[in-house]
Amino acid sequence: MADPQYPAEGGLGQGHDEVQLRYRDDELVDHASVTVDSFLAQSNASAVRIEPGDDTRELLRHLERIRLVEVNFPSFGDGRGYSAARILRESGYDGEIRAVGDVLVDQIAYMRRCGFDAFAPERPLNESDVEAALNRFPHVYQAAADSRTPIWNLRHGDAA
């Protein structure tokens, strides 16, 4: 797992969109994301923001021009964004997927597994707590959007 890159002071975004954790090496997208509806209506946007009720699959025809997908979590208990991220990864999207909004330390590990690789939480997270949460569980049972080998493959000879 790559070390997170911490954007410099005064880097991208304002307010609650401040990226606190980023697990990618490419350049930050430096323009604001647009709604799914706006994105589908205009041909030049490369950053889009998914709300819980949006259908992620509408974006799949345009993946080649997307560099950033923000997935908004208005409340941590609304888990639709996890499916959104996995669907993007399963469709071959390899740009940034950034969780924004009510993102808490207890959600980070599952979000990483679903394909999120950047986090802009409303309230900044304690980074040592994040580190502990990401390293807490030594294995995973099931396949997801990350590259971890499920326990049931480890049992039958696959390498970790």
83 binds another protein (CB under 8 A): yes
Q: Record the tokens describing residue 158, joined without a space.
A: 């696959």
Total residue length of the chain: 160
Pick the stretch among 8-16, 24-32, 34-42, 129-137 that binds another protein (CB under 8 A): 129-137
Quick one: 6 or 137, whose CB is closer to another protein? 137
134 binds another protein (CB under 8 A): no
Q: Record the tokens describing residue 73, joined without a space.
A: 């979590």
7 binds another protein (CB under 8 A): no
Minimum distance from CB of 59 to another protein (Å)?
A: 14
86 binds another protein (CB under 8 A): yes
CB-based contacts of 88: which residues, under 8 Å, 6+ apart?
56, 59, 60, 63, 69, 97, 115
Please give the single-letter amino acid code of residue 41.
A
Among candidate residues 78, 144, 74, the one with its CA nearest the CA of residue 109: 144
Q: How far is CA 50 from the centre of its chain?
A: 11
Task: Figure out which of the listed residues 12, 29, 100, 144 binds another protein, where binding follows CB under 8 A.
Answer: 144
Give the footprint of another protein on this chain (CB under 8 A).
52, 76-80, 82-83, 86, 90, 106-107, 109-111, 113-114, 132, 136-144, 150-156
